[in-house]
Chains A and B, each alone.
Chain A
């Protein structure tokens, strides 16, 4: 390295000497203009990025930090006081919050079902079962309804004296208190959520099918593969990236946008069995007047989402490399 030392001196010296020599030339002003132009160009990216960065910092990161900070302070008489991890200990001690976390686990377990349903239906539409054009439209229809409307509809359908129980009674099955039985209610709500949102996943799957090479299907048919075999060995491998994408979006949807349904259908009940963290946050903040505890719950929810998100990004990246 040291032997190379003197070498750069050459050009530097040259550069130091060169400008004075050029100065009298008429090219001078133009080079100044170039320099000014390059400064504008150097600043342009920052200026262009500023709105996005400002919005993210001012409306996302700053409130996030405030919220995390707030979660270490107390409520009520201890408002504004530093209480360390008290709020988090309260959370862990609260059976309601533990139920909410348990329900998050349940959602993760139910995720494959929520992905398989649109996947299977999209397969049938793609394979042109009779009436597939109608189904394509019908399946998407619930996706345009707001959760409140969906919740209200299913409140009527699933009522104890509602149509579903009447039908069940007609075939000799006892009535089920769909939204009033703590062991059933969470499945009823998740089921409705899947019904209300699978249309979007279905469209994504259909888009994935559009990239599928039909000759693979023909080859499978020639080889005498049954439908399950075709799905298992042709469709699933070919659509692996689509499936992973749907997994990610469905998970996010389940964890962040069930509030409306919960609010309308069960209000977190019966017996608190359908609480999810975001509903818990809302109750503590809006109903119990405990904003600091709610901040702690939000921070916990944020950490859960962060872990889930990072795991999913990791999976997606690995899948990307495989291809």
Chain B
């Protein structure tokens, strides 16, 4: 009896200790600060498409620092910023961190080391620095560019008897062309997915430069947004009118942008789509279905004669260096390897991303890529990226209400102005 009690007590103590260990250790506490090892957090390196990129970057870094080991830890993207938040709270974690440009990195700039002195040489070669800059300091080097070109299906234009190489220059002509295409081929004008409220983000940014005057556009990006201006209202009116006129695919509010709306475009059921430049829903995906030569990119059709259409884009993703990294110089060298021309060429070729490096050879990519890259120089930051995530979320819901007709444009603009002011 006594023996058994002792045994069970021992067993229970063991279990209790094990339970204690489990809770204390917690998930993801990499010992990345051990001097000759760098830990990189991202959500890309686990992807087979990124294998070549990671390999090239590692090789480049190994040449500079042969003794330093590099470990890539791929985190699931939907948990990424939550896990990163925990690492930042505890003040230890990865040395090199992948970020989305814009709010995601600016919100966390406190935890990062400024890179300006280390990446000076790369300034000219890479584009998209603005998205990783806060208060004049650069916190990450751009890897890809992300933006919202207006893609069109050249085959449908041709079928409808339109010249696929001369897309409409004005909104009115654009709508007229769409009417012809729908009549001749049955395809809708826009493939639109607004289930998550993403459709309006793409629409706002793609048509923004064709609707706002250059002054209004720059003010918007600088944070001086005049929601009451007639040009801003015009964008939301277009959004509503386009749907009321039947330009969008049916059930836009229940169609997911990723990837149902893109599937509508890829299957030739819609002639145009506002897509992305990198990762998904872009020239490479579309080319797989439609053929690289059939995917066109057009300037946003002019809504306001005083506007100058430009490609809306920002730095997509980029690597930064944590404040707590032991040797920021070595970590910054790893960032430079991760943005080397060799590595980015691999990323562009395998992953289908518009890389930040403007010197990459694009001759194989087809006409869409060439058009996009040629417009990068004159491009401007996207309008929706400048908004807070709270306002973007609200805009998504209001845009759904606009489509279902349960709210007016004036109310939408008022609510967005109020949200923009507070948040």
Among residues of A, the one whose C-beta sits closest to the C-beta of B24 is: A58
Chain B residues near A50 (CB, 8 Å)? Answer: 12-13, 16
B 218-261 contacts with A by CB, 8 A: 250-256, 260
Residue pair B195, A161 in contact (C-beta under 8 Å): no
Of B282-290, B373-381, B389-397, the segment with at least 4 beta carbons within 8 Å of chain A is B389-397
Of A23-31, A172-180, A215-223, A243-251, the segment with at least 4 beta carbons within 8 Å of chain B is A172-180
Residue pair A161, B251 in contact (C-beta under 8 Å): yes
Residue pair A286, B8 in contact (C-beta under 8 Å): no
Q: Is B364 an interface residue (CB 8 A)?
A: no
Residue pair B12, A47 in contact (C-beta under 8 Å): yes
Residue pair B389, A179 in contact (C-beta under 8 Å): no
The answer, among A37, A160, A270, A288, for a CB contact under 8 Å with B400, is A270
The answer, among B6, B85, B196, for a CB contact under 8 Å with A40, is B6
A289 vs B104: C-alpha distance when bound (angstroms) = 10
A286 vs B254: C-alpha distance when bound (angstroms) = 23
The answer, among B9, B13, B397, for a CB contact under 8 Å with A269, is B397
Residue pair A44, B9 in contact (C-beta under 8 Å): yes
- The minimal Cβ–Cβ distance linking B19 to chain A, given in whole angstroms, is 6
The answer, among A58, A161, A288, A291, for a CB contact under 8 Å with B393, is A288
Among residues of B, the one whose C-beta sits closest to the C-beta of A96 is: B397
The count of residues in chain A whose C-beta lies closer than 8 Å to any C-beta of chain B is 40
Q: Specify the main secondary structure of chain B where it touches its partner.
A: helix
Q: Is A203 an interface residue (CB 8 A)?
A: no
A278-320 vs B, CB cutoff 8 Å, 1 = contact: the mask equals 0000010111110100000000000000000000000000000
A 180-222 contacts with B by CB, 8 A: 180-182, 185
Residue pair A288, B389 in contact (C-beta under 8 Å): yes
Q: Is B74 an interface residue (CB 8 A)?
A: no
Q: Is A4 an interface residue (CB 8 A)?
A: no
In this complex, which of B12, B254, B389, B390 has the most chain A Cβ atoms within 10 angstroms of its Cβ?
Answer: B254
Chain A residues near B389 (CB, 8 Å)? Answer: 287-289
Residue pair A181, B5 in contact (C-beta under 8 Å): no
Residue pair B12, A51 in contact (C-beta under 8 Å): yes
Q: Provided the pairs A37-B2, A50-B12, A160-B250 are in contact, do residues A283 and B393 lie with their beta carbons within 8 angstroms?
A: yes
Q: Is A89 an interface residue (CB 8 A)?
A: no
Chain B residues near A283 (CB, 8 Å)? Answer: 393
B18-39 vs A, CB cutoff 8 Å, 1 = contact: the mask equals 0110010000000000000000
Q: Is A59 an interface residue (CB 8 A)?
A: yes
B 251-301 contacts with A by CB, 8 A: 251-256, 260
Residue pair A47, B400 in contact (C-beta under 8 Å): no
Residue pair A55, B19 in contact (C-beta under 8 Å): yes
A320 vs B5: C-alpha distance when bound (angstroms) = 37
- The minimal Cβ–Cβ distance linking B83 to chain A, given in whole angstroms, is 11
Q: Is A234 an interface residue (CB 8 A)?
A: no
A151 vs B251: C-alpha distance when bound (angstroms) = 18
Chain B residues near A21 (CB, 8 Å)? Answer: none
Residue pair A289, B251 in contact (C-beta under 8 Å): no
- The minimal Cβ–Cβ distance linking A297 to chain B, given in whole angstroms, is 15
- The minimal Cβ–Cβ distance linking A5 to chain B, given in whole angstroms, is 40
Residue pair A58, B253 in contact (C-beta under 8 Å): no
Q: Provided the pairs A161-B250, A289-B107 are in contact, do residues A47 and B393 lie with their beta carbons within 8 angstroms?
A: no
Residue pair B82, A177 in contact (C-beta under 8 Å): no
Among residues of B, the one whose C-beta sits closest to the C-beta of A289 is: B107
B 290-319 contacts with A by CB, 8 A: none
Q: Is A272 an interface residue (CB 8 A)?
A: yes
- The minimal Cβ–Cβ distance linking B201 to chain A, given in whole angstroms, is 14
The answer, among B196, B252, B256, B400, for a CB contact under 8 Å with A271, is B400
Q: Provided the pairs A51-B19, A283-B393 are in contact, do residues A180 and B8 lie with their beta carbons within 8 angstroms?
A: no
Contact sample, A vs B, 28 pairs, CB 8 Å cutoff: A40-B5, A40-B6, A44-B9, A47-B12, A50-B12, A50-B13, A51-B12, A155-B256, A159-B255, A159-B260, A161-B250, A177-B253, A180-B251, A182-B406, A185-B254, A266-B254, A269-B196, A269-B253, A270-B253, A270-B400, A271-B397, A271-B404, A272-B397, A285-B82, A286-B78, A286-B82, A287-B393, A291-B85
Which A residues contact B (CB, under 8 angstroms)?
Answer: 37, 40-41, 43-44, 47-48, 50-51, 54-55, 58-59, 96, 155, 158-161, 175, 177-182, 185, 266-267, 269-272, 283, 285-289, 291
Q: Report, nearest first, the 10 A-B pairs whose CB atoms are least far apart.
A: A160-B251, A180-B254, A180-B253, A179-B254, A270-B253, A270-B400, A271-B400, A51-B16, A267-B196, A272-B397
Which B residues contact A (CB, under 8 angstroms)?
Answer: 1-2, 5-6, 8-9, 12-13, 15-16, 19-20, 23, 78-79, 81-82, 85, 107, 195-197, 250-256, 260, 389-390, 393, 396-397, 400-401, 404, 406
